Chain A
Amino acid sequence: MVSPTLLLASLLSFAFLSGLIGIRFKRGVAYILPIVFAVTLGLLIYMSRGVLDGGFLQGFTGGERPPYSINLVLTPFSLLILFLVHTLSFLLSIHLLIRGVPEPATKFVPLFILNILGVSSIILTGDLFNLFVFLEILSISSVSLIGFMRDGKGLEGGLKYLIVGGVGSSLYLLAVIILYKYTGTLNMADVGMRIGEVPEGMRRFVMLLIIAGLGVEAEIFPFNMWVPDAYQGADTRVTTLLASITSKAGMFGLVRVLFTVLGAGMNILLYLGVITFVISELMALKTKNIKRVLAYSSMGQAGLAMIAFGINTAASIAAGMLLMINHAVSKFVMFGSIEVLTDRFGLDDIKGIGLKSPVPAWSFLLATLSLLGFPFFIGFWVKLNLIFSLKPYLLVPVLLIFAVEIAYYTRILWTMFSGEAKMGKTLAGSSAVLLIGVVIVIALAFVYPYILNLSVKGTSELLFRGLYIYRVLGGGL
């Protein structure tokens, strides 16, 4: 009997198991990471058969059907993002094995697994309160990871995230409580069906609370202020995880709740997306710290994705999904390369590092090209799809900010590839995994019609709430 709950169960058992193994084998515990994600990837592939054709795969708990019990729903959209998340986690875990897991590994490994557990569950869950629980798991594990190196910057960033995230999740919880009080249920599909029972004004209030609550994780303005501090403060290996993988969960959760449960708020999402995109990219222009620049760029991309979802047409939503894929893979490569290249991140410090160790530097360069949307990389198709789904009045600002993006990335690349390299960290281990990331970005461009097809299938569940509700409450297909 295959059920999405198995994915959660296996992640959880591996997390507990790694705690047990860590007692005896302090070093070897890191080797569990690739095994975990190989298993989950296998499960995903096994589960994907019906879903690839556009069907839903539901996992029930407690012997009850959805409104009475928590359910997990594997839809085409969630399959796409889950597959992305677990592939990247697999790559990242191998990269970490090569580069060295942050010490103490016995703590890092379960934290990593639980972080991915949080991401996966937020993507899978069909229950509002369950989302909150896993949001907590996500944010607590992220906080611990950000401060994992126990240096001042990291702890500061973690603390900021803790506070802002705490405010955010309590706002979200409040929204869930209000919804429960009016509809008498917590299941997303059920609440979505009964949303008419909530008075109009209250619905808007709830929508605002949810945008504010989940917006913290989705990195949209003005809830994303913790992002630069946390990304800059955290160890770069952790930042790779946060920027490429973890940030996708918040976006997914926000989109899922707004589209499926409330069926409202897309306009606010659109405006917030535009504001986020514009100001984040502008802020990156003169920033002197490369990790901070990449953090601003991540926020900008999150804003762009929110623009895509906010426009709320099939084409734009598909473009938003593609954007999430492109951003995740390229940011994985970019942060990974930065981690390999240097341990100091000022613009003066990265001068000439591209000449010192070519493989990661060129990986960075190629991933940047993909992020900027040049052809031969998946980013190009993303950009094309996105631009064509934009509304006319958005076109000029978005293109202008694209130009700004090109400008500051050119500046960074130029800095990396010119001048004399300072003495820095020497290269230990190989950075082959980054090359795999680059290969993925290129290969995706060639299988682009297939990916587009898949994401177009994923759009219907967001565009037509009734479809999702019917399928979930009707027992799933």
Chain B
Amino acid sequence: MMVNQGSILIFTTFILAGLLTYFLARVSKMSGRIGGALTGLFSIIFVYLFFHIYSLPGVQNLMFLLIGLVYVSSLFLLVSKETPPIQYLLFSGAAGSTFAFINGLDFITAFIFLELSTVFVFLSIVSGDRKKGGFLYLLFNGTGGLLFLYLLYFIYMKTGRFDYSAIAFLKPDEKILALTIGFLTFAIKMGTMPFHIWQPYAYRDADNGITVFLSGAISKIGVFGAFLMVFLQGSSFRISGNVYAYLGVITAVLAGLYALLQEDAKRLLAYSSLSQLGYVVIGLGLANSLSISGAILHAVSHGIFESLLFLVVGAVYIRTKTTDLNKLGGLITYMPISFIALLFGIIATSGIPPTIGFPSKWMLYHALVINGDPVLLSLTFLASILAFLYSFRLVYSIFLGPYTLKEKVGEAPFPALAGMVFFLLPLLILGLFPGLVLKFIELPVVRFGLPDFSFTPATLKTPLATVNFLTVGVVFIAWFVVAILVYAFAGRSRWLPVKNNYTAAEAIEDERILHYTGDFYRFIRRDMNFLLRHSIQRFYRRLFNLFGVIGDGISRIYTGDVRTYVYFILLFILIVLFKIKGGFPCLW
């Protein structure tokens, strides 16, 4: 059992950085902030320099870059607020294990750091004020780790090796089993639909900075692992792939529906993140070169825009101390830059150019159309519509409408703003030049058949159509500018005081705020109720109860009457003797 030395080094670096920050933060808050930023940046630069990133294979390299991006931004959010010292340490541990996981090239390294990330995230959530999410996280991801352990054992027993390539030596049916188990593990890590229970709670209860990292980076462990499973199978995966595609699309739709009904921004984002990861799973499940490329591209864009959204919500929380959508509103006056960041985030979520969300969804749709399953296609479209709806809810409830808080608030702190910019740049640049990302996965996807598409940095040619993202993006930006100009100079809107609204001659009190964010999508709750009853949670509870009832039944043996205890000992001897001898011995 040789653990990847590079991964150990990475992890140690991050742990040491975390320890240093922890002690600095114990000394004073300021030194903690500065030290946290410096040690964090140092460790990531160290990792990048010494692990000469370009030597890593494509997808690994891509994930490395993406996670680095998310790491820095989450760090910025962490240092721009009052973060308990221990969170720095645990955050560093989680980040280190994520990097180490991506860096590893064998199952044993993967398993160790998978479990380590679980431990650190669990400890981080549990050391916060709200803990429920942490325990759910431990329950699901710990069980997921056991599944992975099964995979580990299985592959080792069949091939005697631990490295990823060992999977190539399996027989086809064994491959399918190994893949299924591995995929389930990473589906739990991503929070795909039947295993999603932990995710909204964990994202809600984690520290805001950690949430950014959770959604942007830790979920990428799941994406990378799932990709790995699909990749290692190669084209033989296509047999069972459609099942996963359906799993993905169900996740996308249902999570989108759930997202509509949330009253808490972080929970809404958690479901939205889940829904977007559903797309990734669809892409992986279709298992052709176009869909896989689309899935990876979407994973990258998800990492960027979802983290950006969490970052903005975290910044809003720093100023307003709440993430309750019913309490927020009208923040655009005080936090314009955050508003713009969030706006671009939701544009990307909805898949509109010129952001990175557009090319990834474009590729996925093309793959779906080529695949030709009408149900999959239409459900995916439905999920996109839902994405529009909940994105709108988010931006409206937080930034638009009347201002609802008592006192004025300031713009987000500087490091948080820096983090937003940090995300906005790739969000736009990669939206115009998605080929930069596709370059990384050009080679790996050949494993799924020769690509039926070609690309340059700004263009993409699929069997269906050719598109130049730069042109599309520029046209969109131009229209956007025109729209703003029209709005600014020819707009006929005017500001009204809150009470000057349509009251239909009804006298209203001061306290009542006329804000339409409360229970925004009531009609959906009403009409979709049959889908949204928490049947999955009930399933898990039933499962728990089933095992519990079995246990209760067995514990009847433990009667508390000592006579029966003695009888059991004697009975044991009798039964085993009977079993061994095939009958009772004769006396003489």
Contact between A and B in the complex (any CB pair below 8 Å):
yes
The A-contacting residues of B in range 140-191, CB under 8 angstroms, are 142-143, 146-147, 149-150, 152-153, 156-157
Query: Which B residues are CB-close (under 8 A) to A160?
Result: 562, 565
Cross-chain contact of B568 among A225, A372, A392 (Cβ < 8 A): A225
Check B115–A283 contact: CB distance below 8 A: no
With A402-B146, A406-B143 in contact, do A414 and B132 touch (Cβ < 8 Å)? Answer: yes
Cβ-neighbour of B560 out of A168, A205, A229, A380 (below 8 A): A229
**CB-based contact A286/B558 at 8 Å:** no
Name the residue in A160, A268, A376 with the highest tally of chain B Cβ atoms < 10 Å from its Cβ: A376
> Which residues of chain B are near A216, meaning CB under 8 Å?
569
In this complex, how many residues of chain B approach chain A with their Cβ under 8 Å: the count is: 49
Closest to B126 in A: A417
In the complex, A417→B547 CA distance in Å? Answer: 24
Decide if B572 is an interface residue (CB 8 Å cutoff).
yes
Which of B112, B147, B558, B572 has the largest count of A CB atoms less than 10 A from its CB?
B558
How close is A326's CB to chain B, nearest CB, in angstroms? 15
A residues within 8 A CB of B569?
A: 164, 167-168, 171, 212, 216, 222-223
Q: A212-B573, A407-B544, A413-B135 are in contact. Are A225 and B565 (CB under 8 A)?
A: yes
Instruction: Tell me the minimal C-beta distance from B476 to chain A in angstroms.
Output: 47
Contact call A212/B558, Cβ cutoff below 8 A: no
Q: Are A163 and B150 in contact (CB under 8 A)?
A: no
Partner of A399, one of B111, B135, B149: B149
Q: Which residues of A contact B552 (CB under 8 A)?
A: 283, 286
Decide yes or no: A167 and B126 within 8 Å by CB, A374-B118, A399-B149 being known contacts: no
- List residues of chain A with CB within 8 A of the CB of B554: 279, 282-283
- For chain B, residues 1 to 58, give those with C-beta under 8 angstroms from any C-beta of chain A: 1
A404→B139 contact, CB < 8 A: no
Contacts of B580 in A (CB 8 A): 204
* A-side contacts of B152, CB under 8 Å: 387
Q: Which of B561-579 contact A (CB under 8 A)?
A: 562, 564-566, 568-569, 571-573, 576-577
Q: Within the assembled complex, what's the spacing in Å between the Cα atoms of A347 and B119?
A: 25
Return chain B residues, CB-CB under 8 Å to A384. 1, 111, 149
Distance of A388 Cα from B554 Cα, bound (Å):
29
In the complex, A395 has a CB within 8 A of chain B: yes
On chain B, the residues within 8 Å of A369 by CB distance are 119
Instruction: Report if A177 contacts B (CB, 8 A).
Output: no
Encode contact with B along A200-218: 1 for CB under 8 Å, 0 otherwise: 0100110011001000100
Contact B150 A395 (CB under 8 A): yes
Query: Known interface pairs A285-B544, A286-B548, A390-B153. Does A222 touch B572 (Cβ–Cβ under 8 Å)?
Result: yes
Contact in complex: A163, B153 (CB < 8 Å)? no
Is residue B501 within 8 Å, beta carbon to beta carbon, of the partner chain? no
Is A403 among interface residues, defined by CB-CB distance under 8 A? yes
* Residue pair B577, A208 in contact (C-beta under 8 Å): yes
Given contacts A208-B576, A399-B146, A403-B143, contact A201 B581 (CB under 8 A): yes
Nearest CB in chain B: distance from A65 CB, A? 36
List the B side residues contacting A159 at CB < 8 Å: 562
Tell me if B463 is interfacial: C-beta within 8 Å of chain A: no
Distance between Cα atoms of A164 and B115 in the complex (Å)? 41
User: For window 533-556 of chain B, which residues contact chain A by CB distance below 8 Å?
Assistant: 544, 547-552, 554-555
B41 CB to nearest A CB, Å: 25
> Which single member of B115, B153, B544, B565 contacts A380 (CB below 8 Å)?
B115
Residues of A contacting B: mostly: helix
Check B118 against A228 for contact (C-beta < 8 Å): no
Please give, as numbers and ranges, the residues of chain A lying within 8 Å of B156 by CB-CB distance.
388
Q: Is the CB of A286 within 8 A of B576?
A: no
Chain B interface mostly: helix
A169 to chain B, nearest CB (A): 12
A13 at the interface (CB under 8 A from B): no
Residues of the B chain whose Cβ atoms lie less than 8 Å from the Cβ of A282: 547-548, 550-551, 554
**A61 proximal to B (CB < 8 A):** no
Q: Does B424 contact A (CB under 8 A)?
A: no
Which of chain A's residues has its CB closest to B540's CB? A407
Instruction: Please report the C-alpha to C-alpha distance between residue A205 and residue B585 in the assembled complex, in whole angstroms.
Output: 11
Instruction: For chain A, residues 157 to 174, give those with C-beta under 8 angstroms from any C-beta of chain B.
Output: 159-160, 163-164, 167-168, 171
Inter-chain contacts of B571 with A (CB < 8 A): 222
Q: Is B280 in contact with chain A by the CB < 8 A criterion? A: no
| B116 at interface by CB-CB < 8 Å | yes
Q: Of all chain B residues, which has the CB nearest A376?
A: B119
B558 touches A228 (CB 8 A): yes
- For B142, list chain A residues within 8 Å (CB): 372, 374, 403, 406, 410
Q: Which residues of A contact B544 (CB under 8 A)?
A: 285, 407
Contact between B138 and A201, CB atoms less than 8 A apart:
no
Interface centre among B547, B564, B571 (most CB of A within 10 A): B547
Q: Give the residues in chain A near B116, CB-CB below 8 Å.
A: 375-376
Let me know if A163 and B115 touch, CB within 8 A: no
A399 and B150 form a contact (CB under 8 A): yes
Q: Are B573 and A410 in contact (CB under 8 A)?
A: no
Q: Which residues of B contact A372 (CB under 8 A)?
A: 142
Residues in B with CB closer than 8 Å to A223 are: 568-569, 572
Q: Which residues of B contact A383 (CB under 8 A)?
A: 149
Q: Please, which residue of chain B has its CB at the minimum distance from the CB of A385?
A: B1
User: In the assembled complex, how far is the CB of residue A474 from the closest CB belonging to chain B, in whole angstroms?
Assistant: 34
Say how far A401's CB is from chain B's closest CB, in angstroms.
10
Is B131 interfacial (CB 8 A cutoff)?
A: yes
For B93, give the chain A residue with the smallest CB separation: A376
Query: How distant is A197 from chain B, measured CB to nearest CB, in Å?
Result: 20
Distance in angstroms between the alpha carbons of A417 and B122 in the assembled complex: 13
Which residue in B139, B153, B560, B572 is a CB contact (below 8 Å) of A212? B572
A404 (CB) vs chain B CBs: closest residue: B547
Interface flag for A418 (CB, 8 Å): yes
> C-beta contact mask, A367-403 vs B, less than 8 Å → 1, else 0?
0010010111000100110011010100110010011
Known: A205-B577, A374-B118, A399-B146. A283 touches B565 (CB 8 A): no
Task: Check A403–B146 contact: CB distance below 8 A.
Answer: yes
One digit per residue, 1 when the CB lies within 8 angstroms of any chain A CB and 0 when it does not, for chain B 204-216 equals: 0000000000000
Cα-based distance from A374 to B150 in the complex (angstroms): 15
A37 to B564, CA, bound (A): 39
Pairwise interchain contact A414-B153, C-beta atoms closer than 8 A:
no
Cβ contacts under 8 Å, A353 to chain B: none
| Contact between B576 and A268, CB atoms less than 8 A apart | yes
Q: Tell me if A406 and B153 are in contact (CB < 8 A).
A: no
- Complexed CA–CA distance, A226 and B566 (Å): 10
Looking at the assembled complex, report how far the CB atom of B5 sits from the nearest CB atom of chain A, in whole angstroms: 14
* A374/B119 contact (C-beta < 8 A), A164-B569, A212-B573 known: yes
Tell me the chain A residues, 212-243 only, with Cβ under 8 Å from chain B: 212, 216, 222-223, 225-226, 228-229
> A116 an interface residue at 8 Å Cβ cutoff?
no
Select A204's contact among B118, B551, B577, beta carbons within 8 Å.
Answer: B577
Pairs A-B, 4 closest by C-beta atoms: A282-B551, A286-B548, A222-B568, A225-B565
| 7 A-B pairs whose Cβ atoms sit less than 8 Å apart in the complex | A201-B585, A279-B551, A285-B548, A369-B119, A380-B112, A387-B153, A406-B146
Interface of B toward A, CB cutoff 8 Å: 1, 111-112, 115-116, 118-119, 126, 131-132, 135, 138-139, 142-143, 146-147, 149-150, 152-153, 156-157, 544, 547-552, 554-555, 557-558, 560, 562, 564-566, 568-569, 571-573, 576-577, 580-581, 585
18 further A-B contacts with Cβ under 8 Å, apart from A402-B146, A417-B135, are: A159-B562, A201-B585, A208-B576, A222-B568, A226-B565, A283-B554, A284-B551, A285-B551, A286-B551, A375-B119, A384-B1, A387-B152, A388-B153, A396-B150, A404-B547, A406-B143, A407-B139, A410-B142
